[in-house]
Amino acid sequence: MPREITAYSNPLIKRIRGLREKRHRREEGLFLAEGLRILTEAREAGRIPHYLFFARDSAAHPLVLALVDAVEAAGGEAIETVPDILSKLSGKDNPQAVVGVFAEFARTLDSLDRTSAAIWLVAERMRDPGNLGTILRTGDAVGAGGLILIGECVDPFSVEAVRASMGALFTVPVVQCEWDAFLPWLRSGPGQLVGLSLDTSVDYQSARYEAPTFLLTGNEAQGMPDAYASECDLLVKIPMLGKADSLNAAVATAVMAYEVLGQQTKRG
């Protein structure tokens, strides 16, 4: 049976609110996710929060009831609260009806099965949580096997990145590693490394992509280092016909991912 918390001074509220900061997430091994859609997708993917906070006026919603049942069946705790508390937890003036507290789920390169998908996404020093979330959504949309984050990337478990992923964090495997670990792993099996670059004459639609294709997107401001580009099997560019010299990193990743998907679908 859910308990009720309505006081800001409650120790659990203070503790959970601290998860908006990376340091506390690392110490606790927990992160926040908000919204019925995101939490329902998490439940359907087998990820159940340790704590579920929900607004009193949403208690009768069938999706909220399903989440409460799932949390309590898994040994977690469902807590009824008020919108002001939810706002404190999420950091939003207009909070969602539910906030969940999940255990971080770390993956390693060795846990990935590269033969399970024809497309994989790789992001190098991605710094914007909105871009990271959008890339995760693209990965889910094209059936990518996972997203591999290289170097100092934004935390995929930050409130902003989780929100931007719209639930894809729970459906697309994410691995964080360094380039020196990624490259030997990649070369230990099949995989074509394709880099997005302005320093090539190869049009992205004229190239041939071989499965599994690993699409490498560089840092938003600086692009990828020359040393990384030199290790790519193929460098391609998306033509720019206007005054802008490049696309947003997440948009470019989506354009490339759908080109690869289209080619692979046509070839069966």
Predicted confidence band at 95 (pLDDT cuts at 50, 70, 90)?
low
Domain shared by 195 and 90, yes or no: no
What strands lie across the sheet with 77-81, from one edge to the other?
3-4, 77-81, 51-55, 98-103, 30-34
Domain shared by 90 and 180, yes or no: no
> In the predicted model, what is the mean pLDDT of residues 199-203?
91
What is the residue-averaged pLDDT of the chain? 92
Domain shared by 150 and 17, yes or no: no
Residue 222: predicted pLDDT: 84
**CB neighbours (10 Å) of residue 44?**
13
Domain shared by 189 and 154, yes or no: yes
To 10 degrees, the CA torsion angle through 21, 23, 26, 27?
Answer: -110
Domain boundary among 86, 103, 120: 103
**How far is residue 119's CA from residue 254's CA, in Å, rounded to a whole number?**
12
Residue 220: predicted pLDDT: 86
Predicted confidence band at 1 (pLDDT cuts at 50, 70, 90)?
low
147 and 136 Cβ atoms separated by less than 8 Å:
yes
Domain shared by 166 and 206, yes or no: yes
Q: Could you tell me the CATH number of the domain that includes residue 203?
A: 3.40.1280.10
> In the predicted model, what is the mean pLDDT of residues 184-195?
97
> In the predicted model, what is the mean pLDDT of residues 112-129?
96
Q: Look at 262 and 221; give whichever has higher pLDDT.
A: 262
User: What are the helix (H) ranges across 91-148?
Assistant: 129-142
Residue 122: predicted pLDDT: 98
Q: Per-residue pLDDT for 193 more than 90?
A: yes
Domain boundary among 38, 71, 103: 103
The tens digit of pLDDT for each residue in 145-161 reads 999 999 999 999 999 99
Domain shared by 94 and 213, yes or no: no
Domain shared by 121 and 252, yes or no: yes
Residue 141 C-alpha from the chain's centroid: 12
Domain that holds residue 78: 3-103
How many structural domains comprise the chain?
A: 2
The tens digit of pLDDT for each residue in 34-84 reads 999 999 999 999 999 999 999 888 888 999 999 999 999 999 999 999 988
SS3 249: helix
The tens digit of pLDDT for each residue in 233-251 reads 999 999 878 877 677 899 9
